[in-house]
């Protein structure tokens, strides 16, 4: 798991691992931010928690190559970004091609990038939501695995909308990881099919 902050999605995944919903273990949680609360959550789960300081590397590429080395040591099958706020270099993406997931707080391809709950409100859409997708070399462009739809209310603010979307994130991210681990994801170009999907 790669994180940069509070790690509520990490917590939802930890819970899904502990309950047995996701038949996997979290080998390592890496943060590029030293005081990210997600590192604390990892330690409470007795997972390895590592702070990787970007300032110790001369470039994004060097930092990412160090991450690749570290992750290879842990013999991981899947890299999950959960509020990880750095763009991954092509070298990183190539090293784990098809095995990197991200959660985004909008219905992609609408509202890529940052601050997207505000963008959805400003645009006046009536529904937003969240998207779990594979990560490719672009930003928020990889094949979509699962989406959760959330209605926008007339009195919504960024705060109220973010909370409603986050509740949905915490459902669909573990589901997507579960399907990956159970080898139920079938990727055909941009289309990702899920075998035997169960409604929560
Ligand atoms: C994401 C998208 C854009 C930024 C940060 C995070 C979420 C998805 C993601 C993270 N890393 C990725 C992806 C992705 O979809 N594809 C690749 N890597 N290849 C973003 O713009 N970050 C900038 C910094 C923001 C900040 O520090 O506040 C940045 O320059 O990294
Ligand atoms: C989540 O809302 C996630 O969708 C978003 O950051 C938040 C992280 O929260 N990710 C992005 O905006 C990626 N572009 P968390 O640290 O509590 O999981």
Going from the Cα of 103 to the center of ligand 2, the distance in angstroms, rounded, reads: 7
Dump pLDDT digits (tens) for 169-197.
999 999 999 999 999 999 999 999 999 87
- In this prediction, what percent of the chain has a pLDDT beyond 70? 98
Dump pLDDT digits (tens) for 95-123.
999 999 999 999 999 999 999 999 999 99
123 in catalytic set: no
CA distance 110 to 173: 19
CATH superfamily of 102-200: Formyl transferase, N-terminal domain (3.40.50.170)
The Cβ of residue 13 has, within 10 Å, a number of other Cβ atoms equal to: 27
101 in Cβ contact with 176 (< 8 Å): yes
Ligand 2 neighbours, Cβ below 6 Å, are 5-9, 82-83, 103-105, 114, 166, 169
CA distance 73 to 177: 21
**How much is the pLDDT for 200?**
59
Work out the end-to-end distance of the chain between its first and last CA atoms, rounded to an integer number of angstroms.
Answer: 24
Going from the Cα of 56 to the center of ligand 2, the distance in angstroms, rounded, reads: 25
The full DSSP string for 9-40 is HHHHHHHHHHHTSS-----EEEESSTT-HHHH
CA distance 181 to 37: 26
Which H/E stretch holds residue 141? none
Dump pLDDT digits (tens) for 24-60.
999 999 999 999 999 999 999 999 999 999 999 999 9
Residues of the chain with CATH 3.40.50.170: 1-97, 102-200
SS3 (DSSP) at 46: coil
**How much is the pLDDT for 197?**
77
Dump pLDDT digits (tens) for 125-159.
999 999 999 999 999 999 999 999 999 999 999 99
Active-site residue, from 45, 104, 133, 170: 104
pTM tops 0.85 = yes
Domain 1-97 belongs to what topology?
Answer: Rossmann fold (3.40.50)
């Amino acid at each position: 798991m790669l994180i940069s902050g509070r790690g509520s999605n990490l917590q939802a995944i930890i819970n899904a691992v502990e309950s047995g919903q996701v038949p996997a273990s979290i080998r390592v949680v890496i943060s590029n931010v030293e005081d990210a609360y997600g590192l604390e959550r990892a330690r409470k789960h007795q997972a390895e928690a590592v702070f990787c300081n970007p300032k110790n590397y001369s470039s994004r590429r060097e930092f990412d190559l160090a991450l690749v080395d570290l992750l290879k040591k842990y013999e991981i099958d899947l890299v999950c970004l959960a509020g990880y706020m750095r763009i991954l270099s092509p070298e990183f993406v190539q090293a784990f091609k098809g095995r990197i997931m991200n959660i985004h707080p909008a219905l992609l391809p609408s509202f890529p990038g940052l601050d997207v709950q505000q963008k959805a409100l400003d645009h006046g859409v009536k529904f937003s939501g969240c998207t779990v997708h594979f990560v490719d070399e672009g930003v928020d462009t990889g094949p979509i695995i699962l989406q959760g739809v959330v209605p926008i209310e007339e009195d919504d603010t960024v705060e109220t909308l973010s909370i409603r979307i986050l509740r949905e994130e915490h459902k669909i991210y573990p589901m997507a990881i579960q399907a990956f681990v159970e080898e139920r994801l079938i990727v055909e170009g941009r289309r990702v099919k899920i075998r035997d999907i169960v409604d929560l």
